Amino acid sequence: MKKELNYPKKNDTLIYALGGLGEVGKNMTCFEHDDEILIIDCGVMFPGEDLPGVDYVIPDFTTLVNNPKKKILVITHGHEDHIGSIPFLLKSVKIDAFYAPKFAIGLINKKLEERKIIYSREIKVINNTSTVTTKHFKLGFFNTIHSIPDSLGVIINSPNGRIVHTGDFKFDLTPVGANSDYQIMSFLGQVGVDLLLSDSTNSEVSGFSTSEKQVAQKINAIMQKTQGRLIVATFASNVHRVGQILEAAVKNGRKVIVFGRSMENVVEISRKLKTIDIQENNFLKPHELNSHPDEKICIVCTGSQGEPMAALSRIASGTHRHIRLKPTDTVVFSSSPIPGNDGSVNSVVNKLFRSGANVLTKSVFTDLHTTGHASQDEQKLMLQLIKPTYFMPVHGEYRMLKTHANTGIATGVDPDKVIIAGNGDVIIFRNKQAFRSDYKVSGEDIYIDGNDTSGIASSVLKDRAILASGGFVSVVVTLDSRNNEILTRPSIISRGFVFIKDNQTMMKEAEAIVYEELKRTMRKKTTFLEIKNNIKHVLEAFLYKETKRHTIVIPVILNSVEAINQIKQYQENKKKYEKNKK
């Protein structure tokens, strides 16, 4: 019997993620009903070493671009993995209504200003008392604790039932800033939640995370006992931590200077919104560093993860415009390395040690570093408060989603009602029931390089990977297209593929193979494109057969008297060079 496919019906609510499932970053979840699409967050992901030359990875907006339905964008908080793709979204998709918390709006406006993007509508401020009503959805919000101010969870009342999206959260019983809305979460559990989407980032971390207040006490102790300048590297995105460092510095009589564009932006916006309440006279300008006592200076900068262009890396390398390390300096890392960044961090630490500075890599800062994401016990508490019928882990790699799913089952969620989805998978929400659809949307990665917002094709990345490992071979051919003649034998130039001196025989044979293919191609009427493709085909096959390595083959066709003379001159110079070497 043929299996009946699960496809959406007219009155269904569809749920699908364009990012954030099976990965950490570019969080973006869509809720679609009839002629409306509600979008929660629009984040970016920063590339790893396997994506050379890529600046950002963003969601594929094709599903939204091609869809004429009304689109409402709601942001849960201001971290890059939740707001970083907004400039690219606004360039390609019409957003009919835009809502975000106050602090996030400050960061978004700064981002749009830097990219010279004008959003013609007002970004409306939301908080835990706000209500947003659209044609098909009614939204409410509740405060969550995260490492940035104004972090919200979202209550989505749809025609097919109630959905809760936690955003990023943790539970801290002695928080810095606003507390979690435990009463609202508990009330939701009482009135009934049909589907919970919950943050999975720290699902593999047992227990309960450390309170930020405990970290604050240790920061103050470090400020008191450190002699000389204190240089603290931390995440710019951890606004609460940055605020505590600045406040401790001022409390202990130190003037503060901030380096790193992202850090400068966060401090500027935080002061404007009074999230960080430090007066201007407590800050130093770069030119004032040398005229102020070292023991009265605290430098706060980016680079705690060893990022090569961050302020701390430039300080360690001696290339920073304003800071030269002294033996009396103390450098503190305020966060542990993210898995995969250990090598970069160690490289920076070694440079700092060589400069003579005192480096605290195992300080109380790192011992008591606390995360902004819920550990297992906090995830259990969220599940117990909300008491969902269906549970869908979000924001995490597959193993994180799986571990969080098991946590949900352990707290009483029916195993048959736990959904682990991937980007592009469509979940049908129908009459308070959620199940996977056989219909999918595009959930691919889009790679952004420099100012190019169209996305880099995967073939370009493949070429970059080959260039990094196999170099390139260029074939220069001189022709007279008017008479269909080959004027000189092909000349091969190689960089990063093989050492020419040890492989002269192979290269001569390669030139002969190209020459024969060229003669065969030009016996009949042909085009430059066909000549190039044929050269690439035969040469790539030959070189792989000889070396078992892939390389980029670049054919260059010269078809003018001037170019012919240049290639002849090059060949003569090459012969003279080889003769002199012998």
SS3 102: helix
- What is the rounded distance in angstroms from the CA atom of residue 183 to the CA atom of residue 186? 5
Q: Judge whether 452 counts as a catalytic residue.
A: no
- What is the rounded distance in angstroms from the CA atom of residue 276 to the CA atom of residue 243? 6
Contact 57, 85 (CB under 8 A): no
Two tokens, residue 505: 């025989």
Q: Is 383 exposed, middle or buried (0-12, 13-18, 19+ CB in 10 A)?
A: buried
- What is the rounded distance in angstroms from the CA atom of residue 384 to the CA atom of residue 373? 17
CA atoms within 13 A on the CB side of 398: 3
**Both ends of the chain: CA-CA distance in Å?**
78
C-alpha to C-alpha distances, 54 to 205, 232, 456, nearest whole angstrom: 31, 29, 8
Helices 376-386 and 398-410: crossing angle, nearest 10°? 50
Strands 123-125 and 97-100 turn out to be: parallel
What is the phi/psi pair of residue 3, to 5°? Answer: -70, 135
Q: Which of 79, 165, 373, 395 is catalytic?
A: 373
- What is the rounded distance in angstroms from the CA atom of residue 572 to the CA atom of residue 187? 85
Can you name the residues that pair with 441 across neighbouring β-strands? none
Q: How many residues does the chain have?
A: 582
Contacts for 358 with CB less than 8 Å, ≥ 6 apart: 329, 330, 331
The torsion region of residue 553 among left (phi > 0), alpha (psi -120 to 50) and beta comes to beta
C-alpha to C-alpha distances, 100 to 39, 83, 84, 97, 126, nearest whole angstrom: 12, 10, 13, 10, 6
Q: Judge whether 172 counts as a catalytic residue.
A: no
- What is the rounded distance in angstroms from the CA atom of residue 408 to the CA atom of residue 177? 29
Q: Which of 12, 41, 181, 199 is catalytic?
A: 199
Tracing tokens 């980032």 back to the chain, one arrives at 201
Hey, which residues are catalytic here?
199, 373
